[in-house]
Structure 1
Amino acid sequence: MRRLALLWLLASIAMLAVMLLRPGIHENERSALAVLVPLYFLALPFGHLGVMASNKLKLSLVLEFNIVPGILAEGLVLWTALVVLGYAQWFIVLPWVSRKCLQLSRFLFKRDPAR
């Protein structure tokens, strides 16, 4: 499981590097964020919550403070949200839920026969 988590983190870092090296990121083009689409699918369904939260954050910055974040800042926030939520989903929450399900099934089905 640790090797899989390490591989997942390395893939995430590679996607960050590709995003930062794209010429469109410094020209403020939205197409530079297309690199994060595979990371979005790797982090589903928690990653979708991260995308919605980052969109809400961007909208509140624009509406309340009249601050328009650049594509670089938006990409870094989006990447961070996807990585943190995806890692938590696959390597913290899912193993915990599977352990609890296993404990419950052992409790329910390993009873002594009725006396």
Structure 2
Amino acid sequence: MDKKPYIVAVLIQLIYTGSIVISKAAFNGGMPTIVFVFYRQVFASSMCLVPSAIVFGREKTPNMSLPIFINIFFLALLGVAFSLNIFNLGIKYTSSTVTAAMTNALPVVTFAIAC
């Protein structure tokens, strides 16, 4: 039996839990949640998204129209930033253990809402 998928799943959970613990430590140190989300997004886009877009999609990128750019901007602002701020407020006011347990319940809640 191949154990690679299980090892990858455990590693992903460990990385995610470490991220939650580091977030909780930053919030306990006095960092505002909005500033933390901003730094997290800047780090993710500058270290991951921009280099991969330059390497893999330089010639394939179509021109972007203004309405599409505005839609992407507002979806990113309201969808990602708002949900991350709400999630980090939850981390700030509860323990990292509760947060890690609740993130495992997200698929169940999503399924219940879909039904």
TM-score greater than 0.5 by the shorter chain = no
Higher relative contact order (CA 8 A, sep 6+): 2
TM-score normalized with structure 1 length: 0.34
TM superposition score normalised by structure 2: 0.34
